[in-house]
Amino acid sequence: MLGTPTYSGPRFRVRSPHVDERGMEEQNMILNALPPDSYARLRPHLETRVMRLHDELWSSMQPMTHVYFPRSFVGSILIPLQAETPQVEAATVGREGFLGTPIVLGADSSVSNAIAQIAGDGGAIEASKLRELLATDSALLAQCLRYAHTLQEQTAQSVACNSRHALEERCAKWLLMTHDRVGRDEFTLLQIFLAFMLGVHRPRVTVAAGMLQSAGLISYQRGTIRIVDRAGLEAASCECYAVVREAHTRMLSSPR
């Protein structure tokens, strides 16, 4: 709803104490927040993966082979429903988190599907190797569990959001969350993916995105979204954007 109080805190920022073998700063914030010795143990097992749009990370009820730590790609956890398309998004995960919390929580599969919704790269570690490291590294385990809790809160917030908040508010929220994760004003997003994210059919997405575009908050042409007025988009979003971002900020700043 227009006029909702805005959140003026910082966007996700990367201030990495860790660098990789090429001298590049670590861009994933969960890895970034690890103590140096935990990061040093994990880093050799992280393989860089370039994710293209719609690459599959896991599929429903199939064994999860890897856990993914996005650096620039953004993943989406989707719930498939029989005879229902599009699928419904349960959570968006970018460099503030990782994809594969069931592995940390002792499971090896999920009812969800996960895909890359924004192309980019990230680190992938074999699920069995991560389990091995978690068994002997309490700081790594604590950090992964804190994130699993935050992701659960994000998912719970989505339940309330999807049932009570207007489509254009949810569309603004999703664009802000993605803007934070990709760290640039322009990104590619096909309308079908926006339909996944919002759990509605494409014609309704066209109307919602059109309203935000008419208000001068975004431009949307041929699958490319540009954030034009960030503050205006925050004012157009429901409260859920600020709630979820503050939960991530708390998680990342909590004591190790």
- List interacting residues with Zn ion (CB under 5 A): 161, 165, 238, 240
Q: What are phi and psi of 73, to 5 degrees?
A: -80, 160
**Which one, 64 or 172, has the nearer CB to Zn ion?**
172
Nearest distance from C-beta of residue 156 to Zn ion, angstroms: 12
Nearest distance from C-beta of residue 133 to Zn ion, angstroms: 36
**Which one, 104 or 198, has the nearer CB to Zn ion?**
198
Nearest distance from C-beta of residue 191 to Zn ion, angstroms: 21
**Which one, 32 or 237, has the nearer CB to Zn ion?**
237
Nearest distance from C-beta of residue 171 to Zn ion, angstroms: 10
Strand bridging mode 120-126 / 66-70:
antiparallel
In this structure, what DSSP letter does residue 19 have?
Answer: B
Nearest distance from C-beta of residue 246 to Zn ion, angstroms: 14
Tokens 């914030």 label which residue?
29
Strand positions, DSSP E, 38-196 = 47-51, 56-58, 66-70, 74-81, 84-93, 113-118, 120-126, 186-188
**Which one, 129 or 165, has the nearer CB to Zn ion?**
165
Nearest distance from C-beta of residue 9 to Zn ion, angstroms: 18
What DSSP letter does each residue of 243-256 carry, written as one string?
A: HHHHHHHHHHHS--
Distance CA 5, CA 142 (A): 33
Find out whether 238 and 141 touch, Cβ atoms under 8 Å. no
Strand positions, DSSP E, the chain = 47-51, 56-58, 66-70, 74-81, 84-93, 113-118, 120-126, 186-188, 218-221, 224-227
Distance CA 132, CA 135 (A): 5
**Which one, 74 or 238, has the nearer CB to Zn ion?**
238
List the structure tokens of 153.
């809160």
**Which one, 34 or 218, has the nearer CB to Zn ion?**
218
